[in-house]
Amino acid sequence: MTVNRVNATIAPAQLQAVRDSLNSINQNLPFLIDLKPEERQAMAKYGEKNRTFVAKALAVAEQNPDILPRSFSIEEMQAHVALIDDLYPLILSVTNLLGKLEDTHFAAGSEAYTAARLVYQYAKTANVATGVLEDALNDLGHRFVKHPKSTPPDTSSG
């Protein structure tokens, strides 16, 4: 028995509204950047373990600005901390939304593929009597053709 977890369609107007909303998010956050993997790798890592450290260091800097060189900007550090605090709930919301989008996409794909396999089975059964579906079955059957695994070349010298 098939489980239908997703039974929905997206009206063109709904899809456009979502696209417009995503565009609005991008327009409202024009400072967002896109790091290359090697750039991320080279940067200092900020995570939950460092959150308290950053907050305490900012407090030390604010209370003792005379210990810092003139080139150090407390205001810039404050702005970074404020940005982190502002972005965090957005990241949680978007991560939650992305998870739902991916799960729905996965479930719909699974259901479509399960239905397609049933169509293939029914077509094979119907074709036994009529033979009119032979071309369609050959086309669909390509999905299930097993290709031999390639073996690595023999590098031994004998």
pLDDT for 152 equals 67
pLDDT in tens, the chain (158 residues): 567 888 899 999 999 999 999 999 999 999 999 999 999 999 999 988 899 999 999 999 999 999 999 999 999 999 999 999 999 999 999 999 999 999 999 999 999 999 999 988 888 888 887 778 888 888 888 777 777 777 666 666 65
Nearest CA to 82 among 55, 110, 60? 55
pLDDT for 139 equals 85
pLDDT for 127 equals 82
pTM over 0.95: no
Provide DSSP, 13-47.
HHHHHHHHHHHHHHHH-TT-----HHHHHHSPP--
Spell out the domain ranges in the chain. 45-144
pLDDT for 122 equals 87
Provide DSSP, 53-96.
HHHHHHHHHHH-GGGS-TT--HHHHHHHHHHHHHHHHHHHHHHH
pLDDT for 156 equals 65
- Identity of the amino acid at 26: N
